[in-house]
Structure 1
Amino acid sequence: MIRPAIRLRRRRRDDSGTVLIIALIVVTTVALVTGALLSHSGAAMSATVALQGVADRSYAADAAAQVAINDLRLGGKAPGITAPDPDGDGPAERSDWVYTDAGDGAGCFGLDGSAARDVLRLDGVASDAGSAARVECTKVAGTGLYGSGGGVEQNAQNTFPRALTAFGGDISYDGGGLLQIRGGMKASSAITVKKYRQTVLYWPWILQSFSPATLATSRAGEPVRRCTGDSFTTPVTCPLSDGGGAGAPVVADALTDLTARPLRDPSSVTASGGVCAFEPGYYDNATTLSNKVNSCSTSWFKPGLYYFDFQNELSEALGNGLMGGDNVWRITGNRTVIGGTRPPGNPTAIPGACVSPLSDHTAAGVRFVFGGNSRMQADVPVSASTWIRYNETPKVELCGSYSATEPPVVVQQQTNGAAAPTTATTPTSVTAPPTTVSGTGSTPAFANATQAALDPGNTAAGAATWTSTAVGQKAALALSGFGPSTAPPAGSVLRKATLSLALTAPSTGVKVTPSAGGTTGTTATLTGSGDVDVTSLLAAAVHDGTLAAAGPSAALAFTATAVGQKVTVDSASLRLDYYAPNVHAGSLPVGGDPLLKVYYPWISGYPGNWPRFVVNGAIYARNGDVSLEFGLTLGTAYFGPMVSMRGGVAARSIDLIGGQWGRYGYPLASIPDLGVGVGNLSTVVDLKVYVCAEAASCASGGRHALTVRVKITDPAYGDDELPEAGNRRIQVLSWAEQ
C-alpha cells in the first residue's frame, strides 16, 4: 500500500510537459502582437485615406470660395457671368455691372436666363480627385445699395411697407424709358403706364418720348417686375400691385394743438454767411415764405417740426389786406433749400447736404406738416422766350429724424383737426368799449366825458354831451383802450373790425388809429350813429398779436357852424370778428393741386447745375396727391434732373412724369432694406460651399464644407456714376470650415 503512493508522487514531479506549454504561450503572444500590429497598420492606412479625402474637400471648397469671391469682385467682367442691362444701354453697361442688390433682377452671380443667379456651380474644381463644388450666395439683411448706415436698424416699425402706396387713386407713369421703383408699390385703384407726349408751353410743337415707358418694381431678394406702355393716349393697366409687407402705412399726426408752436415771420429772417436760417414753428403766409426763400441763395430749415397752414387764400377772399396769393409755398430759381442737421463743413452739394436718418441713427431732421389746403411746390420757372430757364434750377434736400419705432416722416399732411376756415365759417367775435375817454381840447368842455358814459353795457351813466356857444368852437373826444380783455392770439386772421358809435351830431369827423397816439389811420365822417370799418387798419395788429390792451384809438372832431349845435355820444365799441389759428385737417380736392409737386421738366438745368429734390425720409398724405416730374430720356439722350424719395411715398394718388435719370442708388422712390446696415456702399454676403466628391457636377446635395462671410465695398458713387467692376474692396469677415 505504501509503494503506489510513492510512485504517484514521483510522477507529479516530472517536467516532461513544460515545453509544450511554453510553446503555446509564445505562439499566442506572437499572434496577439502581430494582430495588433496589423490592426494598427490598417487603421493608419484608413486614416490616411480619410485625411486625404478631407484635404481634397477642403482644397475644393477653398478654391470654389475663391472663385466666387473673385466673381463678386469682377462682376460683369468675370467669365461666365451674364449681367443685366436694365436701361437698355448695351454691352458697356453689362461689362461694368456688379452685384449690390440694386433692384436690377440679378443675383450675386448675375442672371440665369431672366432669373437671379445666386448659385455658382464649379464642375471639376479639384481635378485630381474629380470633385465638383457649388457655392450658394445669400445677401446679409440690411446691407447692399439700399442698406442703411452703420448701426442703423430698419425694421417693420420704422420703415414703410412699400415704396409707393396710393390710398384712393392711381399710380400713373407718363414717360419714356425705364423708371425703377425699389421696394414695391400698391394702388387702391390702378397702376398705369403710357408714353410721354405734351404740347410744349409757348412753343408750337409737341415734345414726346421716342422710347416706350417701362415701370419696374422690385423688392429685396425678389425678381424685378416690369410693365411697358407704348401708347401716347391709351395707358396700359399694370399688374404691379404687390402684397408684400403689411397693409397701407398709418402715420400718427405730430400735432394736436399749437402749443409751443410760435408764429414765424419769414420776412424777419436775415442771411448770415450767405445762409438764411429758418426756425421751427407755425408758418401761415405762403407768399412771404416763398419770397424769402427765393431771395436767399441757401435756405436752411433747422431741425424740428414746422407747421405750414397758409391763410393767403382766406385773407384774399376776405379782402382784409393782410396777405395775398394762394396757399402754395414755391421754391423756384437757382436756390438751395436744406432741411435737417447739416454735416460738418456745411456742404451744399445734393445729395449729402443734411444728415440722413438712413445713414445715421443720431440724425435729427425736419418734419414739414401741412394743414388745410396748404401745399408745396418746387419748379423750374417757365419763360415765354426760352421755355426753360436753364440757370434757374432749384436744389432741395430734406432729412428726417431717426427713430427705431416710427418712420422718419419728412413731409406730412395733417390727418385730423378742425376744418380749415372759409368765408362761410362763423368767426370768433369779441367786443370792447373804450377804457379811456377824454374831452381835452373842447371848447366849451364836454360834459360827462367818462368811460362809463360811453360803455354800451352801462345805460345808467348817461351820455357825453357838448353844446356850442359860438361859431367856430371845436369839440374833441378822444377814445382809446379798445383792446379786448381776451385778445385774439397771434396768427388770427381778421374777418372784420368795426368801430360802432351811437351819436347825435351834425357832420362829425372820425379818425381811428391802430394805437393811441398814432398818426396813420382810417378816417370817416358820420352825421349820426354808424359804423366805421377798420378791418384793413387792424388786420396786421390782430395777426401779429400786437393789438395790446391799450388797443386802437378813435378821435372825434366837430367844428360848430352855429350857436347851440349839440353833439351827443351815447356809446362806443370795437368789434373784432376773426379766425384763430388752429390745427386744421389737411384736405385737397380730387383732381386739384397736389400736396407736393416737383416740376423739373425736360432739359431743365445743364451739367453741373441739374435740379435736385431729394427726401431722406417718408412722405405721407392721406387726403392729398403727389406729382413728380423729373426730366425725360429721348432715345439715348439723357437730361439730368434728379428726384428721389428715399423713405417711400404714401398719398391719395401719385403721378410720375419723366424717364430714366439720377444717381446710382437714388431711384425715384425707394425704401431701405430691413436689417442693421453697414452703409449703402457695402454689400455683405454669406457663401456656403458644398463639395460633391468624385462627382462630375454638384447641382444639388454634396457636403457642406465651408461657410464664408464677405464684405464688398465700392468707392463713393458720384453723379451719373456706377460702381466699377474690379475696383471693389474685398474683406473676408469669417472663414469657417464645417
Structure 2
Amino acid sequence: MRDRIARARGDEGAALVLALIVITVIALSLSALLTLSDTSVRTTVGLRDQVADTYNADGALQAAINNLRNSSYNHNTGQHCFGADDTLQLTNFHGGDSAAVTCEADPKKVLIQCPSLSNCNRPGNAILTLGKVAGEDGLNITQPNTGSALRVHGNVFSNSNINVVKGVLNTNANVWARGSCSGTIQSVGTACNIGNAANELGDDPNYAADTTTPPPHRDLPACTSRGTVVTFQPGTYDDAVGLSAMMRSSSACRDSTWWFKPGTYYFDFRNSGTNANPLLPSGTNVWTIDNGTLVGGTPTDAAGNIIAKPPVLPAIPGSCDNPIKNASAVGVQFIFGGDSQLTVNKGHAEICGSYHTNKAPIAIYGQTTGSDTPAAWTGTNALAMTTVDDAGPFVNNPGWIAQGDGQSATWAKTSASNETGTVKVSGYTPPTAIPVGSVLTAAKLVVVHGNSAGSAQDNLSVRVDPTNGSPFTVVVPSYGDAAMHTESIDVLQGGVGTLAQLVNAGGYSGAKLSYSAGVKHKGIESLDTLRLELTFVPPTLRAGSGCITNTPYTGTGNASTCAVVTAQSNDSLFYVQGTTYTPKAVLDITLNNAEEQVFRFGVVSRSLWVKVTGSFTFGGPVIEVPDDSPGFVFSLYLSAYICSGAGPCSTTGTPALRSKVALVDSNPMAPSPGHRQVTVLSWSRPG
C-alpha cells in the first residue's frame, strides 16, 4: 500500500514538470510573437513616415523645378536660383510639414554658346584684324618653307589684306579679306577683295575691359632668391624697367616662376614718355621676359588639378586653369595702356583668362579709351593754411596769410639791428585724397610779400615741412623797394623730392610752412599769403598711344611703330588660354616648339604677324576659336529637406531627396520664362 502511494506521488511530480515546460515554451513563443508584432508596427510607422517625407520631398522638388522653368536664372554673376536666394522655403507645404529646396549650379559644364555675335561668349572668328592702314598688312604669315601650313580652327577675317609670305594658311572654316590676298590659302571658302560689303563678322566686337577704373597701384614684389615663386597681386603696375630687371638671367631671383594671381592687372608704364614718373628708373616702356616662367591665373598641376601655388618653373602649357576646359576657371586679364608693351624673349609665359557664360574670356586687352586727366590745385584752388601755429613778431592779423586778398600779416620792426622774424602756419590739406601711383608734374610755392623799407640784402626763406615727409627750405627773393611782390617758386625738386614722393605714395595729407625774414633795418615786413600749388596725374585707364597706335607697322618694332605684344625668340614659349583683344594695336608672334594651340578663344587685333620657325612641329591649329556646344544645356543640383511645423527648414544634414536637372534654352544668354525645357537627369534618395 505504501509502495503504491509512493509511486503515485512520483507520477504527479513528473506531470507537473511537463506542464511547466509547456507553459514556458508557450510564454516564450508568445513573447517573441509580441516582440515581432511590435517591431512590425514600428517598421510600418517608420516606413509610412519615410514614404510621406519622400512624397513631400518629391512635391517640393517639383515646385522648385516649376519655379526655375518660370525664371530667367542662367547662373550669371550676382544671380540666385530663386530670385533673392539659392534656397526655396515652402512653408506648410503639405499638412503639418514644411520643405526647403537648395539649388547649386553644376560648375563643371563649359558651354560655348553664340546665338548671335552680340550675344556670345566667344569671338565670331579665330582671327579678326581690324586695321585699314595703307602699307600695313592685316594678316602676315611667314612659314619656314613653302609646304608648311599655319593651321587655324575657325573663321579668318581681315579688314585689309592677307599676305602669306611663305607657306600655307589653312583653316577648317571661311576666309574673308576686304583687300587682296597673296600666297596659298586653304579653307572651306575664300573671299578676297570684298571691299566694303556688309559682313558683321568683320565688325569690332567692342569688348569691354573687366574694369572701368585702374585697380590699386602695386609696388613690385621682393626679388631676393633664385629659383622661387615670386607672387604678384592684381593691380596697377607702372615700372617696366623694374619688371624687366627682375625677369632677366642676371637678376637676384632669376630662374623663378612669376605668378600673377587671379584678377585684373593694368600695365601703364611710366618710365618714359608723356607724364613719365621721374621716381622710376629711366628706360623704355617695354616689359621683357628674358628668364623664368610667367603663370597668369589659377595654378594647376600636370593632371589639371587646382593647386595652392605653381611650382618653380612649371611645364607649360598646362600651368593654369584653362577656361576652355573648366567652367569654374578664374584667371587674369592683362590690360595694356598708353605705349606699354610686353616682349616674351627667352622666358616663357602662359596666361589664362576667366570663363564666362555671357562674354569672351579675355586674357590680354589693349585699352582703347581714356587719357590722363591732371588734377590742378592752383590759383584760387591752391592749398592754403588753416591754422597759425606761432605768429612770432607777425602779430598784426596773422590769419590773413590764408586769404591772398591784399591784406597782410605784418611785423613792425622798430630797430636797425639784425633780427629774424618767423611766422609758422599749418594746413595745406588736399580737398580729396591723392591716389597711390599719382605723378606730381608741377609744384609751386606762392609767396606774396614786401617791406616798407625793403633791401635786396634781406634774407627771406620758407621752410616746407610736409606731414610724414622730410622738410626742405627754399629761398625767397628780396627787393630794394617798398612794393609787394608775388613769387611762384618751383618746389617740384625735379619730380623726385619730398612732395613728389608723398604724392606718388598717396601719402600727402598737409604741411607746415614757416616764413622767415632776416632784416637789418627798420620797416614793416608784410606777408599777404603763403600758398602751395600742386598739379599731379592720378592713375587712369589710358588708350593705347605712341608707337602702339602709330602706323604703318611693317614687321619690326621700333621707337616709332611697335607691337603691344611680341614673342620673338626661338627659346621662348608663349600661350594665351583665352581671347586676345587689341583692336588698335599689333601682335607680332614668332612660334617655336609649341605643344598645343598658342591662342585659344581667338585673336582680335589691328594687325597680326605670325612667324613660324623651322623647329615648330605642332600639327594642330595654332589659333582657334572653340566650336559651339551641342545644345544649350545648363545643369543644376536640387536638394529637398523636410521638417515638421511652419518652418523655415534647416538645409544642413542629409536631404530627403536629391535631383539633377537640366535647363534647355533657345537663347541661354536671355532665357524666356515659361518657355524653358526642363530635363530630369537624376532623382535619388541619399543615404
TM bin (shorter chain): 0.5 to 0.7
Contact 2:323 2:355 in 1 (8 A): yes
Task: Name which of 410, 413, 422 aligns with 1:476.
Answer: 422
Q: Distance in 1 between matches of 2:623 and 2:241?
A: 30
Distance 1:278 1:539, change over 3 A: same
Is the aligned partner of 1:337 residue 2:275? no
Q: Distance in 1 between matches of 2:619 and 2:328?
A: 22
Question: 1:180 matched to which residue of 2?
Answer: 150
Contact 1:267 1:288 in 2 (8 A): no
Distance 1:619 1:337, change over 3 A: same
Q: Distance in 1 between matches of 2:325 and 2:597?
A: 19
Q: CA deviation at 1:475?
A: 2.1
Q: CA deviation at 1:189?
A: 1.0
Deviations 1:71-110 (A, max 9, x none): xxxxxxxxxxxxxxxxxxxxxxxxxxxxxxxxxxxxxxxx
Is the aligned partner of 1:276 residue 2:223? no
Q: Distance in 1 between matches of 2:200 and 2:618?
A: 25
Moved more, 402-411 or 464-473: 464-473
Question: 1:191 matched to which residue of 2?
Answer: 162
Q: CA deviation at 1:666?
A: 6.2
**In the alignment, residue 587 of structure 2 is paired with which amino acid?**
V
Q: Distance in 2 between matches of 1:289 and 1:520?
A: 32
**Following superposition of structure 1 onto structure 2, how do residues 662-677 of structure 1 map, counting pairs within 5 Å?**
662=616, 664=618, 667-675=621-629
Question: 2:535 matched to which residue of 1?
Answer: 577
Question: 1:252 matched to which residue of 2?
Answer: 207
Counterpart secondary structure, 2:144: strand
Q: CA deviation at 1:342?
A: 0.5
Contact 1:315 1:324 in 2 (8 A): no
Deviations 1:24-45 (A, max 9, x none): xxxxxxxxxxxxxxxxxxxxxx
Question: 1:515 matched to which residue of 2?
Answer: 466
Task: Name which of 373, 379, 390 aligns with 2:339.
Answer: 373
Question: 2:506 matched to which residue of 1?
Answer: 545
Q: CA deviation at 1:262?
A: 1.8
Distance 1:483 1:289, change over 3 A: farther
Contact 2:289 2:344 in 1 (8 A): yes
Is the aligned partner of 1:446 residue 2:446? no
Gaps of 5+ in 2: 1-106, 115-119, 133-137, 192-198, 301-305, 479-484, 553-559, 632-687
Is the aligned partner of 1:301 residue 2:260? yes
Q: Distance in 1 between matches of 2:318 and 2:617?
A: 12
Contact 2:448 2:527 in 1 (8 A): yes
Computing the radius of gyration from Cα coordinates, the structure with the larger value is 1
Distance 1:150 1:418, change over 3 A: closer
Moved more, 492-501 or 466-475: 466-475
Task: Name which of 414, 426, 431 aligns with 2:382.
Answer: 431
Deviations 1:336-380 (A, max 9, x none): 11100001452411111111111212110001122333332222x
Task: Name which of 566, 569, 579 aligns with 1:598.
Answer: 566
Question: 1:419 matched to which residue of 2?
Answer: 371
Q: CA deviation at 1:186?
A: 1.7
Question: 1:704 matched to which residue of 2?
Answer: none
Q: Distance in 1 between matches of 2:412 and 2:612?
A: 77
Q: CA deviation at 1:235?
A: 6.9
Q: Distance in 2 between matches of 1:330 and 1:552?
A: 37
Is the aligned partner of 1:500 residue 2:446? yes
Q: Distance in 2 between matches of 1:657 and 1:508?
A: 69
Q: CA RMSD in A?
A: 3.7
Is the aligned partner of 1:618 residue 2:579? yes
Distance 1:642 1:556, change over 3 A: farther
**In the alignment, residue 475 of structure 2 is paired with which amino acid?**
A
**Following superposition of structure 1 onto structure 2, how do residues 262-273 of structure 1 map, counting pairs within 5 Å?**
262-266=216-220
Question: 1:529 matched to which residue of 2?
Answer: 486
Task: Name which of 440, 451, 456 aligns with 2:403.
Answer: 456
Q: Distance in 1 between matches of 2:578 and 2:293?
A: 18
Q: CA deviation at 1:407?
A: 1.5
Distance 1:470 1:329, change over 3 A: same
Q: CA deviation at 1:191?
A: 0.8
Moved more, 564-573 or 658-667: 658-667
Q: Distance in 2 between matches of 1:558 and 1:586?
A: 51
Gaps of 5+ in 1: 1-148, 195-212, 226-233, 380-392, 606-610, 632-638, 678-738
Task: Name which of 588, 603, 624 aligns with 1:627.
Answer: 588
Q: CA deviation at 1:516?
A: 4.3
**Following superposition of structure 1 onto structure 2, how do residues 53-132 of structure 1 map, counting pairs within 5 Å?**
none
Q: CA deviation at 1:660?
A: 4.9
Question: 2:170 matched to which residue of 1?
Answer: 217
Counterpart secondary structure, 1:154: coil
Q: Distance in 2 between matches of 1:303 and 1:517?
A: 34
Deviations 1:100-158 (A, max 9, x none): xxxxxxxxxxxxxxxxxxxxxxxxxxxxxxxxxxxxxxxxxxxxxxxxx9843323322
Distance 1:337 1:666, change over 3 A: farther
Task: Name which of 355, 366, 373 aligns with 1:402.
Answer: 355
Q: Distance in 2 between matches of 1:599 and 1:238?
A: 24
Contact 1:360 1:402 in 2 (8 A): yes
Task: Name which of 571, 589, 605 aligns with 1:651.
Answer: 605
Distance 1:642 1:182, change over 3 A: closer
Deviations 1:662-720 (A, max 9, x none): 4646654222233369xxxxxxxxxxxxxxxxxxxxxxxxxxxxxxxxxxxxxxxxxxx
Q: CA deviation at 1:593?
A: 4.0
Q: Distance in 2 between matches of 1:305 and 1:471?
A: 66
Contact 1:150 1:676 in 2 (8 A): no
Q: Distance in 2 between matches of 1:154 and 1:399?
A: 17
Question: 2:321 matched to which residue of 1?
Answer: 355
Q: CA deviation at 1:449?
A: 6.5
Distance 1:585 1:519, change over 3 A: closer
Distance 1:150 1:258, change over 3 A: closer
Contact 2:170 2:185 in 1 (8 A): no
Counterpart secondary structure, 1:475: strand
Q: Distance in 2 between matches of 1:597 and 1:643?
A: 17
Counterpart secondary structure, 1:571: strand
Contact 1:491 1:581 in 2 (8 A): yes
Q: CA deviation at 1:439?
A: 4.2
Q: Distance in 2 between matches of 1:366 and 1:167?
A: 24
Q: Distance in 2 between matches of 1:456 and 1:270?
A: 52
